[in-house]
Structure 1
Amino acid sequence: MKKNLFYLFMLCSAVAACNRDDLQNSAANIEVVQKDPLTSRQINEKINETIRTKGRFSWKESSDHLVWSAVFQGNKIASIGFGSSFDRSLTADSKAVEEEILKVIQQYEGKTDRVVLSSDPYLNQMDVVIEKQETVMALRRMAGIRYLEPADYRYFENEQKFGGGAAKSGSSSSGCGLESMALNASDYTTVSPNAKAPWSFARHNITGAWNYSTGAGVTIGIIDSGVSSEQALLGSSFNNGLSSGRTITKNGVYVDSAWPWSSGYDGSADKCGHGTSMASAAAAPRNNQGQPVGVAYNASLVTYRAASNVVLDGYHEQNGVKTAFTELGNNTKVKIISMSMGHIFSVGKIEDGVKYAYSKGKLIFCAGGTSTSFTNFAGVIFPAWMPETQAITGVKENTSNQKCDICHSGSEIDFTYQMERASGSNIPVLSYYNGQTDYVGGSSVATASTAGIAALVWAKNPSWTRDQVLTKMRQSSTYYPNPNSDYGYGNINVLKAVQ
């Protein structure tokens, strides 16, 4: 279709340097070939076909018509990344570029009110209202645009609606659940003062590593669905037992609404259960109450309720995650970020947020993906495939290259964590409610546990850089120095990593 279109304007060194007369006189050159938007079903079919044939889908590589159709079907909200860098502070002309974008929108949309939904204070990213295909076409041809993509197109929700097998499990497996389960005695060992160490700790030599490091002095940021206000061991009793001198700070940056214009965060409390499990796996206290202990039981936590569940499929979910990454990036106390959520294709604003946090020296761990039949449809998910993140997946007990029944694998995986037993048991964690326990599995718990391992290594070597910590983790893993094609460096021997 693009061969039937004339370019809006010639390449410019910067958007602000383009001649406004050229913009005004080129309106007639925008030729719309396909005037009606695709249906949501048609959009999903194109996305699925691209993933099947190319292995990955990107809005950047999609036609103007497909992008506009998804914007149109997604409440007419578009996300725009602009400027020569993702970082607003590094681009002196950010404001000028942003103003030029708004002038183009005004020119083609014919309105000035209710155009800007949000403008990020740290990133060169904004969300705008766009109705016309011509506007999308004009903006995508501007030299200062890094990406333009739908900001509220709900792929998974539509797949469920249409009964699509590709994403059915990915969407319905939200990772949520407030239930509890009694632990089988064979799935833990009791350690002083009266805590339950999950079976996986012995497989990774974590309990032995505690003689050298407990995570003290390191802060982990967790981006998830929040932390339960009903679990005291992740609240007022965070320093119970042998855990001491640390803090847990809970934040909420999620707007619980299907309407993009809604505002007002709904608090830090977990309403899903997934975030509580991740916080427990990473840093639950070495308690005296007979409850599961986390990997880095003396590390501090900064948690974010950034989404309602693990599927980042809506405007407020994606906005919340972006905000969490930027705020954690600006938090000088945080060294490590763990996120066990994702999407099967990239989201520009989240990508910018990840890059921002990475530029601040953060060591970022992301889940490689967890699902059932969906595993056969997509490999490692976003943002775990980004070079700025460490992608983690779960494997079966006593292996480094047999993924769990619902875990993803692929060339982007960096480390593995044993989280599935032959009996089917996963990792014991604190439940949503006081005095109760549960099991959690998949690449989610593998990611949070590996973030805890990184905290042990960094606490042992507080002057190290992110790269030095990573090097030590790799050197202490199964496949070092030659990573496996689908499982990276494999399982980490944590005792070796802290010696």
Structure 2
Amino acid sequence: MKFKNLLLLALVATALMTCSKTELGTPETAHQQDPMTKAEMDQIIEEALLSKNTVYYWRDASNRMLWSASVSSDSVMSLGYQPAGFENIEERIHEIDLNSEEWAAARNRLVDFVVNTTNTAYPGLNASAEDLFLNLDEEYLPTLDVRIFNQEIIEQLREMPEVRYIEPMSYAMGGIERRSGSGCGYSPASSIPSSDFTTVVPNAKVPWNFSHPSMNVPGAWSTSTGSGIKVALIDTGTSPSQSKLGSEFNSGYSAGRNLERLGTHVSGWWWWASNDGPDDACGHGTQMAGLIAAPRSTTGTSLGAAYNCNLKAFRATTDVIINGGSEKDGVRDALVISGNDGGVKIISMSIGDVFYSSTVADGIFYAHNRGKLIFAAAGTSLSWTSWWGVIFPANMSQTVAVTGIRDNMNQRCHTCHEGPEVDFVAVMQRASNTSRTSLTLAMSGNQPAYVGGSSAATATTAGIAALVWATNPNQSRSQVLQRLKNASSNYPARNGSFGWGTINAAQAVQ
């Protein structure tokens, strides 16, 4: 029966993308129309992005557009809930007991409503809660993944006091994302000019930008190497072929630390889908892990800013854009796991999207409320970025937004986003040659790869924060953040595009 129901649900979703309501035989209603085309929705979204210079919020969409965006992808929506009248959930989300009477009642009311109205709209479907809801066993966050095919159900849900939000999970905007890079596919550098690194004992390469006078990461290592601090990296995973993030994680001058490799991304909604595991199939996560925590080894590889820190690396996405429902779930779940790990002090997220995702934001609220210092990339695009500002989740006040600049200190890197939400910057690119960026680990071997953008700036800054926190592990997040500000190039002023500026790591650890 479950297979039959799932097949019927898939057929309903497919039919909605190609047929009118009369062709489907669905009930006549005053509001149900043909879905909007993707071109129509993309135009509305891009106009909003251009006019407001901020991310797109699904709360601004009409009921018809929400429904159309859902059925044009996979018909799965995120449904945030709460007991009627509950207040200040952003500050209290980490304290919620979802099994308590009031929270269970709110959840059950919505589940029963969706099941009953779906079966009324589509006689013969006979869908159960397990057919329509994909995460009824969610333990920590009041958010549900649910299949919805009918516009009237969305309209009614948006009026219910138990509903915080309802958003399509997998809608991707083609126009914007064709201009953005997936962040995958980097290879080891064929050659590296000697001016792009220095060599330190026992035989490790220090990327040139680490030694830039405004950052001076090597100057911090006599005081701190990040020992005892755990950084969670939420990205595309780490490569099993890169021994520096495996058997050689503790090598050379890096010893006595821990590496955890986890996977929270699942490729697909169907019952046969399984967790993808921790392995990086993109390359981006491996590069970010290298910038944060690559060992100070004997083999000529580039080292990380905090080469003695502990690392908890997640495969939560397939690339840097959080635009698939399974990616949103993967990122959200990684945030909860990191939030519940008492050893994690810092979370690094060199990923994002032009859409605000409330289910991912719930994960941000949860981890932030548990004291984690969350760094997020302001945005990196392949081209046409001058009009575009800081992406999600870097635009949230609960995250620390980071972008990259050139070594002349007054230009963003050519693919980097900037804006008033930016908190810090890191030197990531030669002003004279945009191809000469930072150095990090490749997917395998000892030859470094070049990497830049706000992604690399974010991971590097997370590593610097680990150096600072390691000088006194009992510090609070606010104390560490203040030390980073105090050692920044613009402080106490704040620049409208580059925030507090670059962090002098040697000064920050004092």
Give the structure-1-normalised TM-score. Answer: 0.89
Q: Distance in 1 between matches of 2:342 and 2:445?
A: 32
Distance 1:372 1:231 in 2: 26
**Aligned runs of 1:323-472 on 2, under 5 Å?**
323-399=333-409, 401-421=410-430, 422-424=432-434, 425-472=436-483
| Paired position in structure 2 for 1:216 | 227
Query: Is the 8 Å Cα contact of residues 220 and 334 (structure 1) preserved in structure 2?
Result: yes
CA shift, 1:89, in A, is 4.5
Superimposed CA distance per residue, residues 285-338 of structure 1 (whole angstroms, 9 cap, x where no aligned partner): 111111101100110100000011101111111111111111111111110000
Contact 2:426–2:503 (Cα < 8 Å) also in 1: yes
3-state SS of 2:290 partner: helix
Cα root mean square deviation, aligned = 1.6
2:471 matched to 1:492? Answer: no
Amino acid in structure 1 at the alignment position of 2:53: G
Q: Distance in 2 between matches of 1:50 and 1:32?
A: 28
CA distance in 1, matches of 2:373, 2:272: 32
**Aligned counterparts, 1:78-477, within 5 A:** 78-83=77-82, 84=86, 85=89, 87=93, 89-90=95-96, 92=100, 93-110=102-119, 111-113=126-128, 114-119=131-136, 120-155=138-173, 159=174, 164=175, 166-170=176-180, 173-181=181-189, 182-203=191-212, 204-257=215-268, 259=269, 263-399=273-409, 401-421=410-430, 422-424=432-434, 425-477=436-488
Unaligned 5+ residue runs, structure 1? 1-29
Deviation at 1:169, TM superposition (A): 1.9
Q: For the Cα contact (< 8 Å) 1:88–1:94, is it kept in 2?
A: no
Q: Distance in 1 between matches of 2:142 and 2:94?
A: 5
The runs of 4+ residues in structure 1 deviating greater than 6 Å are none
Partner of 1:46: 44
Contact 2:31 2:151 in 1 (8 A): no
In the alignment, the residues of structure 2 paired with residue 69 and residue 256 of structure 1 have an alpha-carbon distance, to the nearest angstrom, of: 23
Distance (Å, rounded) in 2 between the aligned partners of 1:345 and 1:201: 32
Letter of the 1:90 counterpart: I
Distance 2:233 2:473 in 1: 20
Report the Cα offset of residue 263 of structure 1: 2.7
Structure 1 residue 268, shift from structure 2 partner: 0.6
- In 1, Cα distance between equivalents of 2:127 and 2:109: 13
Provide the residue aligned with 1:73 in structure 2.
72
SS in structure 2 opposite 1:180?
coil
Deviations 1:433-466 (A, max 9, x none): 1222210000000000000000000001211100
Matching residue of 2:19? none
Alpha-carbon distance, 1:44 to partner: 1.3
- Aligned mates of 2:204, 2:408 — CA distance in 1: 24
How many Å separate the matches in 1 of 2:240 and 2:446?
Answer: 13
How far apart, CA to CA, are the structure 2 residues paired with 1:266 and 1:413?
A: 33
Whole-angstrom distance in 1 between the partners of 2:292 and 2:276? 24
Unmatched 5+ residue regions in structure 2?
1-27, 120-125
Q: Are the aligned partners of 1:241 and 1:286 in contact in 2 as well (CA < 8 Å)?
A: yes
Is contact 1:412–1:488 with CA below 8 Å preserved after alignment? yes
CA contact (8 A) 1:108 1:134 kept: no
Q: Percent identity?
A: 41
Q: Is the Cα–Cα contact under 8 Å of residues 437 and 452 in structure 2 kept in the other structure?
A: yes
> Does structure 2 retain, via aligned residues, the 8 Å contact 1:88–1:121?
no
Q: How far off its partner does 1:154 sit?
A: 2.5
